[in-house]
Amino acid sequence: MSYQSLYRKFRPKSFDEVFGQEHITTTLTNQIKKHNIAHAYLFTGIRGTGKTSAAKIFARAVNCLNNDDGNPCNECEICRGILDESIMDVVEMDAASNNSVEDIRDLREKAKYPPSKSKYKVYIVDEVHMLSKGAFNALLKTLEEPPKHLLFILATTEPHKLPTTIQSRCQRFDFKRIGIKNIIENMRIICEKLEVDVEERALYLIAQNADGALRDAHSILDQCVSFTDGKITYENVLSILGTVNAETIFNISQHIIDRDVNEALKLISEVVQYGKDVNQFIKDLIQHFRNLMIVKSTSDVENIVEGSKEFIEDLNKQAKDISITNIIRCINILSEAENQSKWSSQPRIVLEISIIKLASGTADLSVEGLAHRLDELERAISVGQISIITKDEKESLPDSNENKSPSKTKLSGLNSKKDSNSCLRERISKDKDCPIDKPDQNICEAATGKQEVTLDKILSNWTVILKYIKKDRISIHALLMEGKPIDFDKNTLIISYEEGFGFHKDAIDKQQNKEYVQGFINKYLNTDIDIKFIMSSEEISAKKQGNNDLNNELIKNVKSVFGEELVEIE
């Protein structure tokens, strides 16, 4: 006898054996018991949920000679004849390969004849959405007014592709995804009949990957039975599916939460090296973050997330370390990666890019990524990792930093030049922990009058001034450090920039930046001077113009002494 696949060998033979579709089986059995049978039925739902099996059971039940409870007896002449296909009153038709107008016309011609032995001639049309427009039109009249002996059962995974004229003439039954618990129960029964020992974790993993389709679960179980010798372990199923264990999924998720890009990429490398399927791994990660989202969003986790108590406890622990905004961001990035990896010749690179985005917030510039970074900032402020100092608080800062926590970052709000200058003056004179050299005490002390300033004094303090500006405004320091004080005349400090630094000169010469530098230096030196920024070429031109004026004055004096007619200029 030839080998039969498990999904065929253990196909349900009565409505009681159909798992997870009680809302449908109850209605159908009641209709049979009350002889309230419609002429056309439409069975819809995803693959592997029992549409074809229910149609075959229904076809036998309506023709069964010993039907008392709505189920076929599977023992009478009619039931046995339909099961071994010796009675041709039940016709199965695949609309995917028989979708033309001629095929439907042939069906209509044969449907005119009454059944040979049964009460009803039943046509089961699978994947009915594949029929052409002309075929639907040809079927419509027969479907609307069929002979009394004719019964149609249409099955499809895509009911939206059916014309409304067809749908309106059928009783529609929607088959649900089969729950993980029902799938596990069904596989446990099959394993007992096959005398195969199987781990509970292995059954759960198969059911999870079946995604609500019992036929898919049977196919995976069939592979596992062939792969092992009487015992199916969790590791066996992992090997066959090409997926990774739950511990690896938890570990890489934790690395993402901890922003540990290095360890996350190491784990990805190990997953790929072991030959695991990248697309399946991405799906597993999406499912894991979906579970975290459910844990964060509801208290009724047990009825929504399938898994053991230990598994749900682990989810609860990890969910405490991640915000709902970040979870949604991770799901969006991974979903995009799943779509890209299907068509990419390098799915590993797609996965690695996504992991870097997930584990490094700065690499993700999406709306969700920016929202996550804002959430992180708010969290850091709320737990005290970052404290904000207002202008009023800054003026009352203590003289010493000894009591400051090294783990806290201070954000000061200097919103005006006056606040900035006073704060800097206070920092220069009071900051005992400042790592740079202190300026001259005489310069730092507040004085009743303005201090006398010379170019030499400015040059001797210039390095210290730059260091303090760097500590307070590093962007200003970057512009100012390229300039050089060259002259101090008429209470104006001239700072010159070499060729090639015109951008720096133009940027520092903007009013706001210039006022900041001028105010800082005046507070530091306790004086009141102006600042002028020039290019070195302007300095040369000024010197040349000065020399020309001096020469002209000298010539004028010589001519006045010796007479213009006696002086000759060469």
Of the ranges 77-91, 153-167, 527-541, which one carries the lowest mean pLDDT score? 527-541
In the structure encoding, which two tokens stand for residue 280, read together? Answer: 């399946």
| Helix (H) or strand (E) segment spanning residue 299 | none
Q: Please name which of 126, 141, 132 lies closest in space to residue 161, comparing C-alpha atoms.
A: 132
Q: Would you say 282 and 351 are in contact if contact means Cβ atoms under 8 Å apart?
A: yes
> What domain count does the chain have?
3
- Taking CA 464 as the corner, what is the angle to CA 460 and CA 467, rounded to the nearest 5 degrees? 150
Residues 533 and 467 in one domain: yes
Q: Please name which of 427, 429, 502 lies closest in space to residue 470, comparing C-alpha atoms.
A: 427
- Distance, CA of 297 to CA of 22 (rounded, Å): 30
Amino acid at the residue 297: S
Q: How many CB atoms lie within 10 A of CB 442?
A: 9
Residues 270 and 286 in one domain: yes
Q: What is the pLDDT of residue 63?
A: 92
Of the ranges 29-33, 70-74, 488-492, which one carries the lowest mean pLDDT score? 488-492
Residues 137 and 100 in one domain: yes
Tokens 């069939």 appear where?
A: 222
Q: Is residue 252 part of a domain?
A: yes
- Distance, CA of 29 to CA of 70 (rounded, Å): 4
Residues 244 and 152 in one domain: no
Residues 37 and 169 in one domain: yes
Q: What is the pLDDT of residues 145-163, one digit of tens each?
A: 888 899 999 999 999 999 9
Q: Is residue 380 part of a domain?
A: no
Q: Tell me the pTM.
A: 0.59
Q: What is the pLDDT of residue 414?
A: 38
Q: Is residue 386 part of a domain?
A: no
Residue 16 structural domain: 6-176
Q: Is residue 454 part of a domain?
A: yes
Q: What is the pLDDT of residue 377?
A: 67
Q: What is the pLDDT of residues 289-300, one digit of tens each?
A: 999 999 998 888
Last residue of a domain, one of 176, 199, 219: 176
In the structure encoding, which two tokens stand for residue 216, read together? Answer: 């898919």
Max CA distance (Å), the chain: 149
- Distance, CA of 522 to CA of 510 (rounded, Å): 18
Residues 165 and 242 in one domain: no
Residues 298 and 209 in one domain: yes
Q: What is the pLDDT of residue 2?
A: 67
In the structure encoding, which two tokens stand for residue 539, read together? Answer: 């300095």
Q: Would you say 238 and 205 are in contact if contact means Cβ atoms under 8 Å apart?
A: yes
Q: Is residue 421 part of a domain?
A: no
Q: Is residue 561 part of a domain?
A: no
Cα dihedral angle (356, 358, 360, 364), rounded to 10 degrees? 100
**DSSP sequence for 479-500:** HHTTEEEEEEETTEEEEEE-TT
CATH number of the domain within which 490 lies: 3.30.300.180
Mean pLDDT of the region 486-494: 87
Mean pLDDT of the region 374-398: 60
- Distance, CA of 104 to CA of 535 (rounded, Å): 90
Q: Is residue 116 part of a domain?
A: yes
Distance, first Cα to last Cα, the chain: 126
Name the more confident of 381 and 351.
351
Give the model's confidence band at 557: pLDDT under 50 very low, under 70 low, under 90 confident, else very high: low
**3-class DSSP string for 417-468:** HHHHHHHHHHHHHHCCCCCCCCCCHHHHCCCCCCCCCCHHHHHHHHHHHHHH
Mean pLDDT of the region 37-61: 93
Q: Would you say 495 and 504 are in contact if contact means Cβ atoms under 8 Å apart?
A: no
Residues 92 and 225 in one domain: no
Name the more confident of 208 and 558.
208
Tell how far CA 303 is from the center of its chain. 25
- Distance, CA of 158 to CA of 95 (rounded, Å): 13
- Look up residue 40 and give its DSSP letter: E
Q: What is the pLDDT of residues 220-257, one digit of tens each?
A: 999 999 888 888 998 888 888 877 888 889 999 999 99
Q: What is the pLDDT of residue 373?
A: 65
CATH number of the domain within which 227 lies: 1.20.272.10
Residues 224 and 320 in one domain: yes
Q: What's the sign of the alpha-carbon dihedral 357, 361, 366, 372? A: positive
Q: Considering the chain, what is the average pLDDT of its residues?
A: 81
Q: Would you say 322 and 371 are in contact if contact means Cβ atoms under 8 Å apart?
A: no
Residues 170 and 207 in one domain: no
Q: What's the sign of the alpha-carbon dihedral 33, 50, 222, 270? A: negative
Q: How many CA within 13 A on the CB side of residue 24?
A: 28
Last residue of a domain, one of 359, 385, 420: 359
Residues 28 and 68 in one domain: yes
Mean pLDDT of the region 442-459: 63
Last residue of a domain, one of 359, 381, 416: 359
Strands 121-126 and 386-389: unpaired
Q: What is the pLDDT of residue 471?
A: 82
Q: Is residue 169 part of a domain?
A: yes
Residues 146 and 244 in one domain: no
- Phi/psi at 245 (nearest 5 deg)? -75, 165
